[in-house]
Amino acid sequence: MIARLWRKFRTAYAAMDLQRKLMTLFSVVFLVLLLLFGAITFTNLAKNSRTQLLYSARQSQQQAMAFLSNKVNLAVYVSDVIYYDLSVHRLVLASASQPDDLGNEYRDFYTVWTNLKNFQSDTISNIRLHLENGSTYVDQEWNFGSFEALKETDAYQELVSSEKTYLWSAPWLQATSSRSDYNRVVSVLRLIRSLNDYNDIVSAVQISLEADQLDAIMHNAGIADGVVTYVLNAKGEVIAASDPDTVGGYLQTGALRTLYGQDMDAGRVTVGKESYICLSSTVSQTDWELTMLIPLSAVYASGFSAVKTILLCGIPIILCGLCLIWLLSRSFGQRVAALATRMESVQEGDLNGTVTETPPDELGRLGRTFNYMLGEIRNLMRQQYESGKLLKQSELKILQAQINPHFLYNTLDLINWKALDCGADDIAELTQTMGKYYRRSLSKGQDFVKIQSELEHLTLYVRIQNYRFDGRIQLISDVPDSLLELEMMKLVLQPLVE
């Protein structure tokens, strides 16, 4: 498929004129560079955004951990104060048997009750001290409960068997002081042992924290859309969450249980169909783990936003760049088209006119070279024309030269016949000799003649000279017969004899 599209593109590209080829090539290069710049920018921005987001997430997680630990430590501190309060131990001891002095029991009850109410605040919604059924004040106030009933609960059995100091519960509904409504609370249960015998468990105190406040801490820890923050205990129960519905859905799939205890720092995990960066840490004095899930989409969102902004701001730059590419392509294309048109006109025979030589770039030098070649062609044609004229004149002179000997031959032949008619044999013989001499001289226009013909021509020359000098010139030639058929340049021997 790709190969076929590439072949079609190459065929279409080859059929384009130069201007469109340059426009296509420059545009493709420009857009590729722009995309490369956008990819590099997005990568750097995403990297910086991830670094900044992780920094903010760590700060937010530490802040949430500080708030959460503050509430936990407050509850633990209150339990310690109650554990070592002598009034509490006296009241617990009195509840284990029939009190001897109801006045002292009431005073201890009132002191403990006042202390419990004073510890309650916006953070601690309720403190309940569990007394034996022998106490007069069991279940008579919101801050007191039955120790016998507590012993039947799973929480108590778990705390005793685990030998833990504290046992934190999952959120549950606790009746308010008016007993007409309920609050979602998270409780910590602590056993109170006898001051005389550590193995003797005499009571327990239960301190409840507002669950909504814990949820608010998780919610406030969210630094971006889609960030999920939650607290999970060792049983896989959600203690608090920024988005209870989302966390509850993930909890049902079992994905959150696999993350518990891994203590991640910017680890990449997949929960459901979403990829997250995970930050997790344990909450001291609890079995809780505070976890923050940052979606990768939030990490890259700022990068996409920045790239989108750059592209929107870069649209005028892109348009200006494409316009500049079009102008450059048009300029080069027109210059090359003008040169091609001029060459076609020269091919058709029009040698007049030139092409522009500016600016002095490669096309300018090509135009200058073309003009020089065109000038040389015109000069050669002019020289050829002049040479043709000279050739015609030479041919005419040669024709004239051929006419003159014929006229001379005819005249000498006429003199010969007139001399014979008048009985002047010497004149007739001299005339015949001169006719032969000139015929030998012309040699039908040949430059080379045989040695024998040259010797005959020399003999005729000497014979004519003897008419002048009364036969006093004697010519002796001694040439081997083997050389007579060889050729030599004519009229070479006559100057030597002269």
pLDDT in tens, 317-351: 777 877 887 787 777 777 777 777 877 787 777 77
Q: What is the pTM of this model?
A: 0.60
Structure token digits, residue 452: 């024998």
Q: What pLDDT, on the 0 to 100 scale, is given for residue 442?
A: 62
Hey, which bits of 177-273 come out as E strands? 182-193, 201-210, 228-232, 238-241, 265-271
Q: What pLDDT, on the 0 to 100 scale, is given for residue 401?
A: 55
Amino acid, res. 173: L
Instruction: Give tens-digit pLDDT for 201-259.
Output: 889 999 999 999 999 999 998 877 888 999 999 888 999 999 888 888 888 888 888 88
List CB contacts of 388: < 8 A, sequence separation 6 or more.
Answer: none
Q: Note the helical H segments in 266-361.
A: 296-347
Q: Which residues pair with 232 in a beta bridge?
A: 238, 289
Instruction: Give tens-digit pLDDT for 259-310.
Output: 888 888 888 888 878 888 899 999 999 999 999 998 887 766 666 666 677 6
Number of residues that make up the chain: 498
Determine if the peptide bond prior to 405 is cis (ω within 30°). no
For residues 206 and 124, is the Cβ–Cβ distance under 8 A?
no
Q: What pLDDT, on the 0 to 100 scale, is given for residue 74?
A: 93
Q: What pLDDT, on the 0 to 100 scale, is given for residue 187?
A: 94
Q: What pLDDT, on the 0 to 100 scale, is given for residue 75?
A: 92
Q: What pLDDT, on the 0 to 100 scale, is given for residue 97?
A: 66
Structure token digits, residue 33: 């560079």
9-17 long-range contacts (CB < 8 A, ≥24 apart) are 17/333, 17/337
CA atoms within 13 A on the CB side of 258: 10
Q: What pLDDT, on the 0 to 100 scale, is given for residue 66?
A: 93
DSSP-derived pairing of the beta strands 124-131 and 201-210: antiparallel
Residues in the chain with pLDDT < 70? 13, 18, 42, 96-104, 134-137, 139-141, 177-179, 299-307, 310-311, 395-410, 412-414, 416, 418, 437-447
- Rounded to an integer, what distance in angstroms lies between the CA atom of residue 287 and that of residue 234? 6
List CB contacts of 433: < 8 A, sequence separation 6 or more.
Answer: 460, 463, 464
Query: Which residue is it, tokens 């949430």?
Result: 64
Q: What pLDDT, on the 0 to 100 scale, is given for residue 71?
A: 92
